Amino acid sequence: MKLLNSLFIAWALAAGIAWADSSLYAYAYTTETNVFLGQVFTLDVIVKTPQLPDSPDIGDLTDFNVTVLEEGKATSEPDTWAYRFDLRAKHAGDLTIPALRFGSVSSEPVSIQARKPEATDRMKLEQQLSSISVFVGEPVLLTTTWHSSYPFGAIKAVDFHFPVLNDKRFQILERYAPDKEEQAGSTGLPVHGTRVLASRKNYMAEEVQHQSLTFSKLLIPKKSGRIIIPPATLLCAAEREKDLNNRQRRSAFQYPAYFDNTFFDQNVTGDTWSRIYTESRPLILDVKPLPAEGRPDLFNGMVGDFSIHTTAEPVDVRVGDPITLAVTVTASDFMEGIFFPPLRYQPLLVNRFEIPSDRSLPERRARSKIYTQTIRPRSIDTAEIPPIQLAFFNPVSNAYCTVQSDPVPIRISPAQEIGIFGEGTRHSRLQAVEEGIRQNYENPDMLQSRPRPLLGWAHPIITLSILLLPPLLVGGISLVSLFGEKKHHIHRTAKAARAYKVFRKNAAHIYTHSMKSEIYGDLDQILRAYLGDRLHLTPGALSYRDAEARLIEAGADAQILDDFKRLFALCEAYRFTTRYDEKAQAKPIVHEAIRIIKSLDHALK
């Protein structure tokens, strides 16, 4: 049923609502109509109006906590806009999402039934900030810990929700931990539609065995003020105690691989599972503004305590030769907060060296970022690479600081002079070229004379060949084209004959996916590949309209076309909504797609 509902909303998105009385409409659809308290579900609204309408007043949704995900995003259809909201019921009972007004059109109300999960003290969710008072731009670590006296192997359908991850007042960064995947205690968790690695720990509390999972996010506030970080919520399904006792208890975590665990399994039907909900306490973060006085010109928003070091190689070069300059910036705390500005902003460097505008991504090492770039000396008057400066705000001293690296001594020799016939030597200023680095390494050998083999005894033969070449070439091309067209026709016919078998084979790889973006993303690719092979079209730029005329001409009936249209539209819908993912079972989706394609393929024979 969920699949048919999803197909219907995608069909409405791609083709409009055919039964609507007007060409303008607002259609609201939810991923769930029966939810638990604490469960986050999505409200999608597709609006068709000549112009982008104003956002609706979400204050009317008094029964729900609302997080805005998309506001008026243009879709693949003209004059059609997508709105998306995350909702969470505040209380149990029969609830209603009221009609939302988008300019001159309004959506229909949507009924929601909210149920209470079971209450338990065997799970707890905690969140902690590394500091409760920071400056704008100062990184703060948000650590989340899930405590449970249930064995983690007996828990399924985990749904973490973190409203702060959608808070535009913060920049959210991941902690750099390159070796975390190698650690034995690393465990995958579904968090806010994404997958993160958490650290597992076993401990005893009040003579009861407990387990915990901990992960962190780095928050960088963009605005000053008192910010309330809403609670993180956790909804999951735990095996009931009687069923848990009837089988062998797991003494250790059953799934050591990163994401190979039951947390992502949504199959919790039957009476052996109970829904459990818990949430953390809200947190308060005071964000102070940066002082305006004493702000250096080089300041780019970095807050913390940093040091800078440079190395260069080689140090004995000619004018215009490349020098590899490595700038290492080290943070006293969070390396992720390092954002070193380009070298072209260094006042002591820019007038002495040619500096390209592009640079590679920094290398991350421990608490440092290493920026590597090539520079070229302009004249022999340069005796050193001057100090590289770094400006930042130090929250400990409550003042702006400017640190600099030590200068690097270098030895510059004159560039090699190349004489030009009749003019002697010519001097010109070093310039960057767009043709690439090869242009900087040409040498005088390119000016040496080259023999011209066209003259001599072979000249008459070459002349005769030139006269006979055009007719021979035209005849050869005609023959190649004739055989090539025949071979291409045979190849296309063979691909069309095995298109359905290839579709089924490729679809089998989708069964392991658990997120809708993965399922429909791969399904979209193999669906387009099928149409390309079956109808001799280009897969990458295919739309339903491209294939519709060919399908009708081939004899496909209206019911098959309608089913295929909905499947194609659903795949297309997830091409621009992948940012906010949802969990799903791949098997029924793939089976439905195979059924549709099988019927379509049979009609085309």
Residue 382 lies in a domain: yes
**Mean pLDDT within 406-431:** 69
Query: Is residue 282 domain-shared with residue 313, that is, in the same domain?
Result: no
CATH number at residue 30: 2.60.40.10
Alpha carbon 290 to its chain's center: 31
Task: Mark out the alpha helices in 430-557 (DSSP H runs).
Answer: 459-497, 499-507, 516-535, 544-554
Query: Is residue 95 domain-shared with residue 137, that is, in the same domain?
Result: no
Range name among 328-337, 363-372, 392-401, 442-451 with the lowest pLDDT average:
442-451
3-class secondary structure, 114 = strand
**Mean pLDDT within 337-356:** 91
**Mean pLDDT within 202-211:** 89
463-483 pLDDT tens trace: 667 777 777 777 777 666 655
Query: Is residue 171 domain-shared with residue 281, that is, in the same domain?
Result: yes
Q: Centre a 10 Å sphere on the Cβ of residue 196 and count the other Cβ atoms it contains.
A: 19
Range name among 183-197, 288-302, 361-375 with the lowest pLDDT average:
183-197
**DSSP letters spanning 161-194:** E-GGGG-TTEEEE----TTGGGSTTEEEEEETTE
Query: Is residue 149 domain-shared with residue 256, that is, in the same domain?
Result: yes
Query: Is residue 40 domain-shared with residue 170, that is, in the same domain?
Result: no
Place of tokens 């956790």: 234
**Mean pLDDT within 534-552:** 66
Q: Which of 115, 142, 162 is the last residue of a domain?
A: 115
CATH number at residue 350: 2.60.40
**Mean pLDDT within 505-525:** 82
3-class secondary structure, 546 = helix
Total tally of structural domains belonging to the chain: 4
Cβ neighbours of residue 192 closer than 8 Å, sequence gap 6 or more: 160, 161, 162, 165
Note whether 584 and 514 are within 8 A (CB). yes
Could you give the percent of the chain with pLDDT greater than 70? 75
Range of the domain at 562: 497-604
Residue 10 lies in a domain: no
Helix 558-573 and helix 586-604, axial crossing angle in degrees, nearest 10:
140
**pLDDT confidence tier of residue 214, bands split at 50, 70 and 90:** very high
Range name among 272-286, 421-435, 531-545 with the lowest pLDDT average:
421-435
420-438 pLDDT tens trace: 545 555 555 555 544 444 4
Q: Which of 368, 391, 413 is the last residue of a domain?
A: 413
* Among 1-5, 23-27, 490-494, the range of highest mean pLDDT: 23-27
Residue 425 lies in a domain: no
DSSP 573: H
Task: Tell me if the pTM is above 0.85.
Answer: no
What was the pLDDT predicted at 276? Answer: 85
What was the pLDDT predicted at 492? Answer: 60
* Among 75-84, 211-220, 266-275, 578-587, the range of highest mean pLDDT: 211-220
Residue 283 lies in a domain: yes
Query: Is residue 234 domain-shared with residue 139, that is, in the same domain?
Result: yes
- As a whole number, the mean pLDDT across the chain is 79
Query: Is residue 333 domain-shared with residue 391, that is, in the same domain?
Result: yes
What was the pLDDT predicted at 543? Answer: 61
Whether the per-residue pLDDT at 63 is higher than 50: the answer is yes
Q: Which of 288, 314, 349 is the last residue of a domain?
A: 288
**pLDDT confidence tier of residue 531, bands split at 50, 70 and 90:** confident
Beta strand 155-161 with 170-173: parallel, antiparallel or unpaired?
unpaired
Query: Is residue 163 domain-shared with residue 256, that is, in the same domain?
Result: yes
